[in-house]
């Protein structure tokens, strides 16, 4: 089941986001964990994992509401 996250693969090379190629850095914030990853093609992606289980927000854009 997906909750708002629509980025499942790299827009450049199609590498599956679930299979992280390389983790650049990971930061703990008050709301969750921000992870910067690098794809096999070199594209850097940011992923935000909320402490609230089941909530995954892709990219820097925050989505509030809309379940």
Binding site for Zn ion (CB under 5 A): 10, 12-13, 15, 39, 41, 43
Least distance in angstroms from the C-beta of 10 to Zn ion: 3
Nearest CA among 38, 61, 39 for reference residue 48? 61
Output 43 or 46, the one with its CB closest to Zn ion: 43
Output 15 or 36, the one with its CB closest to Zn ion: 15
- Neighbouring residues of 33: CB distance < 8 A, sequence distance ≥ 6: 26, 27, 48, 49, 51
Q: HSE of 28 in the Cβ direction (CA atoms, 13 Å)?
A: 1
Least distance in angstroms from the C-beta of 29 to Zn ion: 25
Least distance in angstroms from the C-beta of 42 to Zn ion: 7
């Amino acid at each position: 089941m997906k909750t708002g996250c629509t980025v499942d693969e790299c827009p450049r090379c199609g590498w599956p986001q679930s299979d992280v190629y390389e983790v650049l850095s990971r930061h703990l914030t008050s709301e969750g964990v921000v992870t910067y990853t690098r794809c096999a093609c070199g594209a850097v992606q940011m992923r935000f994992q909320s402490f609230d289980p089941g909530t995954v927000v892709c990219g820097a854009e925050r989505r509030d509401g809309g379940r």
